[in-house]
């Protein structure tokens, strides 16, 4: 069974019979985990093993695990710094900042892979302009060249551990105050201004090191009348053609308020896929999932399926083996010694 275009979430720490059936639906291609799905390292390994055993090829298992305030698994996992903390050290000591970015990506990816998670939606490539509260310290820096430099090191760390990377939130969420979880933010800058700022990290990393990209639920009216995640201009003309991106395009969560203008959940999914998304995320709406799957009946995109297959993680170690790995131990110690606020 091939991987479908829908990524769903789960209610708790174990699978319900309904969730097992939904995960086996041919239009489902993956699952995203949240803090509510985590109890302990052993529980997480059991959950991911059960999900993986349901299908062949296995479903893609994902999570938002950036560090700082966006780290879904806490107890039993290394506390990771917010990316802005790495940027602050980089401003004082460029070489140390690069090492810390690499270490953070490596530790994050190695720990997740050892627990059965294929992909973290990271790194954030937004610019830390001090405008967006939802981005805030999730961004490395304001300077797009610094963001590019540190994100490249972060991705190299992920790659060393065996995980691909997903850059977000294309073409940049850092220039608007609104939170797309609760409203549709509007960025009135023209494409020319975005090309010299927010788009720079994507332009430099998309053709080379990113396997996936997630667009923002943000409207850029001087570029297109549709928000980026529903826009053929942004996804086809800019991302695919101008930036030569050939990886997976994930929609951001379709249940977010920034996506509601596209219709009901099924209509949002159809519009996102028609615009160029390969995979749509449907989270925090378990009652709406069956309707979404019905709305996509008969949908198939072989190219998207081939892109998805490249996202399976390649874990090099089990959890026990990782704890004894000298590179991992050294990276953890570098992070702990550099950030006094980390436990």
What are the start-end ranges of the E strands in 72-191? 119-120, 166-170
Six-digit token string for 188: 């009135």
Confirm if 120 and 107 have CB atoms less than 8 A apart.
Answer: no
Environment class of residue 50 by beta-carbon count within 10 Å: exposed (0-12), middle (13-18) or buried (19+)? Answer: middle
Residue partners of 175: CB distance under 8 A and separation at least 6: 127, 129, 131, 132, 187, 189, 197, 198
115 is known as an active-site residue: no
Confirm if 290 and 316 have CB atoms less than 8 A apart.
Answer: no
Identify the residue whose tokens are 């529980």.
43
312 is known as an active-site residue: no
Six-digit token string for 54: 């349901």
Alpha-carbon distance of 296 to 5, in angstroms, equals 9
Alpha-carbon distance of 80 to 189, in angstroms, equals 33
Confirm if 171 and 215 have CB atoms less than 8 A apart.
Answer: yes
Confirm if 199 and 237 have CB atoms less than 8 A apart.
Answer: no
Q: Which of 252, 253, 278, 312 is catalytic?
A: 252
Active site residues: 181, 252
């Amino acid at each position: 069974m091939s991987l479908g275009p829908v990524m769903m979430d789960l209610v708790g720490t174990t699978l319900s019979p309904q969730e097992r059936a939904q995960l086996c639906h041919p239009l489902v291609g993956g699952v995203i985990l949240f803090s509510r799905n985590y109890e302990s390292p052993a529980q997480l390994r059991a959950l991911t093993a059960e999900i993986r055993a349901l299908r062949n090829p296995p479903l893609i298992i994902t999570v938002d695990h950036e560090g700082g305030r966006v780290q879904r698994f806490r107890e039993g996992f290394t506390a990771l710094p917010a990316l802005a903390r790495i940027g602050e050290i980089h401003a004082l000591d460029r070489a140390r900042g690069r090492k810390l970015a690499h270490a953070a990506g490596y530790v994050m990816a190695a720990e997740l892979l050892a627990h059965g998670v294929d992909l973290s939606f990271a790194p954030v490539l937004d610019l830390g302009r001090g405008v967006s509260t939802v981005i805030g310290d999730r961004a490395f820096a304001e300077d797009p060249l610094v963001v590019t430099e540190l994100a490249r090191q972060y991705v190299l760390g992920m790659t060393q551990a065996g995980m691909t990377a997903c850059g977000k939130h294309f073409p940049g969420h850092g220039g608007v105050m609104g939170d797309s979880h609760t409203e549709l933010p509007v960025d009135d800058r023209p494409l020319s201004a975005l090309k010299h700022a927010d788009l720079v990290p994507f332009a430099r990393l998309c053709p080379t090191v990113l396997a996936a990209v997630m667009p923002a639920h943000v409207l850029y009216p001087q570029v297109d009348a549709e928000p980026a995640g529903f826009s053929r201009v942004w996804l086809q003309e800019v991302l695919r053609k101008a930036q030569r991106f050939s990886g997976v395009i994930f929609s951001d969560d379709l249940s977010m308020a920034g996506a509601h203008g596209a219709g009901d959940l099924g209509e949002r999914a159809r519009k996102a896929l028609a615009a160029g998304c390969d995979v749509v995320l449907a989270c925090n709406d378990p009652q709406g999932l069956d309707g979404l799957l019905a709305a996509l009946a008969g949908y198939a995109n072989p190219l998207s399926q081939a892109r998805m297959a490249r996202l399976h993680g390649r874990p090099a170690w089990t959890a026990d083996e990782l704890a004894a790995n000298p590179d991992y131990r050294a990276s953890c110690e570098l992070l702990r010694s550099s950030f006094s606020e980390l436990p």
